[in-house]
Structure 1
Amino acid sequence: MIRILMGSYGSGKTEISINLALKLKSSGKDVSLVDLDVVTPYFRLRDLKKKLEELGIHVVTVGDNLRYSDLPIIPKNTDWLSSEEAVIDTGGEDGAKAVGALRHLMNGKNTHTYFVVNAFRPFCERPEDIIENLKKISTLSKMKIDFLINNSNLGDMTTAEVVLEGERIVSEVSRKTGIKVLFTVVPEELIDPPETDYPLFSIRRFMKRKLGIGGMRT
């Protein structure tokens, strides 16, 4: 199975990709984690490659000599295609274009695409804005979106009320598009998780965080 996480910039795709890969690994699967965040040279999987590989995850990214390159570079390694599970972390519109460029390699493969939403990021506050971004990224990636993921948060200021407000907005996107919500994300440090309409996916934060409105940087 190839699982592709897409979404607007700053929606939290990288954190979810890491946690999803680790969950799949814990079930005994052979897992590859593919870095297609091709624009921002910081806050990417490549910074955690050694740590994740120690945990048994095969990380596919650019070489160390290009680690902080400010150029859109797609890893040449395609051995992830033979993994039992491949999780692809993309970055915004440019990441969606990278998926589109690799689309031919995935023909005939079992794939699921996920659109990650943080309703507290700029230009993601209204269902209409989220749907517009979803359609744009779907077009650029040349792939249909299969599921929505509610990752609405305010970083260290996330509360149960924040999570539920995000879920309300993402539910409206689901109603208008017909795309199901797969789960709602909550940080593991949230002491009193809310009762949600969708399964909870608790995540450990691995990436550096930027405090303030809009939540996680990744």
Structure 2
Amino acid sequence: MRAIRVLLADDQELIRQGLRKMLDIEDGIEVIGEAADGEEALRVAGECLPDVALVDARMPRMDGVQFITLLSARYPGVAAIVLSTFDEDDYIFGALRGGAVGYLLKDCTPEELVDAIHRAGRGEMVLASPVVERLVAEIRRTPVAPGALPRQERLSAREAEVARLIAAGATNREIAARLLIAEGTVKNHVSSLLRKFGLRDRTRLALRLQDAPCLDA
């Protein structure tokens, strides 16, 4: 199996060196580029097309949120994970809206970081526990107008099945295997659910679906 190709984007050279040394000894991971700011990271990403970009939230010239937004638009096949000391809402929500698949804090363990890279390489989302708590709090603060959640009859039978599995934390691959459908078909259903619930990303969708009355048995 081909190694996951990783780009490191952090303005602190010592951080990049430490990450490279840690990741270079991991089977299945290959660091193929480094950058000290968002502009350089965007150029390097275009040259080497990594599988995963590990990105600091604060960088000179172009910060992590701006970089991820442009990266997602230009190279949608690259999975971006923020690795930062900052857990402020602007960075978290900005990065996820921009297309990041993960947000980790720099106090995570090496094992957690390696696992996150592998999961991101498989198309999964990876969020630190404090980040999940921020997302849950934000969703609970957001008022839901009556009728904002779609009723059962507005979802197809297959959409309802996919929605229940998303709420249970299943990945697209797991949903496809469970329902015996193509992974591409699952992605289409996820896009439809995002549109019907008026949400932008899968993480918010999963959290919203956990409390959706339309999914009650």
Which of the five TM-score ranges fits, normalised by the shorter chain?
0.3 to 0.5
Relative to total residues, which structure has the larger strand share, 1 or 2?
1
Which is greater in Rg? 2
The structure that is helix-richer by fraction is 2
